[in-house]
């Protein structure tokens, strides 16, 4: 007795045994794209009654759409500001040869970054031992701490904001909580060693170096653009600073200050929770703007951040190591012949513990 075929099915004849198989129309309607393409390019479709002409038209249409989609995914628009910077010559240094290419467009250069970087430095005599890099094409409203958080390879001796058109240091005072006009400015980075600068430069040429969704342009720059007769001893000063960055001083651009919370109430019978009590740890007389005003006398400040601790603790990131060293020695009373303002700051923060914190750029770069 033959069973009735279920509704909504289609009958398929098996080529071997001639038996009947049933397949749901709903299942047949949900075939994947892979099956669709395989059926499209199968020999049976080519030899169908519709003819080979229709198949050829569909094949060309599909290939053209695939090529168009591939080009849209890999196409990269160039930055108009790159040519402007590369045309500028550094005063007193002559023409600086800049070799920069998009890694998506030049896989050969990307596969041999170390050899390309070494050859480029050999071609420019002033860059052989350079520790200085220049970051440009920075998107608007990007904060300086956000940029430094994406930099790695080693600690920085100093950072500077330069004018975009002539690479001179900006003379305007920097406000730590105000946006920077990156249309008129570029960022100068001076590492502690030439090797660490190369590590970050190679990383910056990859697509892994992204700030606020944009890939920044990195250029080499000589440590000294123009010889200054008034600073003949600058080389000796730089060597001394680099020595202080090593043990036992381990000087950094970041200072951390800590002291017990003043007038903190302690309750012996009160249950201690895992999260600190905000009322017990609140410091009503602590003013962050006052702290910035005090330490701005030693140098420009990048940011002031809280530090997780059981005591009142915060960190200050300066533009250069000299400013951090000056502030630390001033608080510890290791400096003679200070002016009245700095002596007042030394008395004000004399009860605080102070030490060098870790530079946010002092972290390894994962390949």
What pLDDT, in 10s, does the model give residues 47-95? 554 556 676 777 777 777 666 665 555 444 444 444 444 444 444 444 3
CATH class held by domain 80-227: alpha beta
pLDDT at residue 293 is higher than 70: yes
Checking if the pLDDT of 362 tops 90, the result is: yes
Which residue is listed with tokens 């200072």? 255
pLDDT for res 258: 95
In which band, very low, low, confident or very high, does the pLDDT at 231 lie, cut at 50, 70 and 90? low
- pLDDT value at 3 more than 60: no
Q: Which of 3-7, 261-265, 272-276 has the lowest mean pLDDT?
A: 3-7
User: Across all residues in the chain, what is the average pLDDT?
Assistant: 74
- Cβ atoms of 283 and 261 closer than 8 Å: yes
How confident is the model over 324-336, as a mean pLDDT? 87
- Comparing C-alpha atoms, which of 183, 121, 130 is closest to residue 157? 130
| Burial zone of 46 (CB within 10 Å; 0-12 exposed, 13-18 middle, 19+ buried) | middle
Beta bridge partners of 353: 258
Please check whether residue 114 is in contact with residue 140, taking contact to mean a CB–CB distance below 8 angstroms.
no
Strand-by-strand arrangement of the 217-221 sheet? 156-163, 185-191, 132-136, 217-221
Predicted pLDDT at 308: 87
Nearest Cα neighbor of 147 from 336, 360, 366 is 360
For 120, the token pair is 């480029």
* DSSP string computed for 81-112: HHHHHHHPPBTTTBPPP-----TTT-HHHHHT
What pLDDT digit, counting tens, does each position of 234-265 carry?
A: 778 888 999 999 989 999 999 999 998 877 76
Q: For residue 42, is pLDDT > 90?
A: no
**Percent share of the chain, pLDDT over 70:** 60
Phi, psi of 99, rounded to the nearest 5 degrees: -115, 105
Look at the pTM and tell me if it is higher than 0.85: no
239-266+275-356: same fold as 80-227?
Answer: yes
Least trusted range by pLDDT, from 9-23, 245-259, 272-286: 9-23
Please check the confidence at residue 202 and state whether its pLDDT lies above 90: yes
pLDDT tens track for 300-329: 999 999 998 888 899 999 999 999 999 999
Residue with more model confidence, 36 or 139: 139
Domain limits, the chain? 80-227, 239-266+275-356
H/E element holding 40? helix 33-40
Question: Of 17-31, 85-99, 255-269, which one has max mean pLDDT?
Answer: 255-269
Mean pLDDT of 340-351: 88
Domain 239-266+275-356: which topology?
Alpha-Beta Plaits (3.30.70)
The total number of residues written for the chain in this structure: 367
- Please give the pLDDT value at position 174: 81
Q: Is the pLDDT of residue 204 over 90?
A: yes
């Amino acid at each position: 007795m033959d069973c009735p075929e279920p509704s909504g099915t289609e009958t398929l004849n098996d080529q071997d045994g001639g038996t009947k198989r049933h397949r749901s129309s709903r299942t047949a309607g949900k075939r994947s794209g892979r099956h669709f393409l395989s059926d499209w390019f199968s020999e049976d479709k080519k030899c169908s009654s519709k003819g080979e002409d229709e198949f050829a038209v569909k094949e060309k249409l599909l290939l053209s759409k695939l090529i168009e989609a591939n080009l849209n995914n890999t196409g990269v628009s160039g930055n108009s500001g790159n040519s402007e910077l590369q045309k500028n010559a550094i005063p007193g240094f002559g023409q600086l040869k800049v070799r920069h290419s998009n890694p998506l467009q030049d896989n050969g250069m990307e596969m041999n970054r170390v050899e390309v970087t070494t050859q480029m430095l050999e071609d420019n005599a002033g860059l052989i031992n350079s520790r200085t890099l220049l970051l440009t094409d920075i998107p608007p409203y990007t904060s300086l701490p956000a940029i430094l958080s994406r930099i790695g390879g080693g600690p920085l001796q100093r950072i500077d904001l330069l004018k975009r058109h002539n690479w001179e240091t900006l003379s305007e005072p920097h406000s730590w909580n105000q946006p920077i006009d990156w249309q008129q400015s570029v960022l100068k980075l001076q590492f502690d060693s030439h090797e660490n600068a190369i590590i970050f430069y190679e990383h910056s040429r990859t697509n892994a170096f992204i700030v606020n969704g944009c890939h920044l342009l990195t250029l080499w720059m000589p440590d000294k653009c123009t010889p200054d007769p008034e600073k003949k001893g600058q080389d000796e000063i730089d060597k001394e600073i680099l020595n202080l960055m090593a043990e036992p001083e381990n000087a950094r651009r970041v200072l951390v200050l800590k002291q017990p919370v003043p007038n903190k109430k302690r309750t012996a019978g009160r249950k201690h929770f895992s999260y600190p009590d905000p009322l017990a740890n609140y410091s009503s007389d602590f003013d962050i703007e006052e702290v910035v005003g005090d330490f701005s006398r030693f140098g420009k400040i990048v940011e002031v951040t809280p530090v997780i601790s059981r005591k009142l603790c915060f960190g200050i990131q300066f533009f250069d190591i000299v400013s951090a060293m000056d502030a630390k020695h001033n608080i510890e009373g290791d400096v003679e012949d200070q002016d009245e303002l700095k002596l007042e700051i030394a008395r004000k923060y004399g009860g605080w513990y102070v030490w060098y914190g870790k530079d946010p750029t002092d972290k390894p770069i994962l390949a």
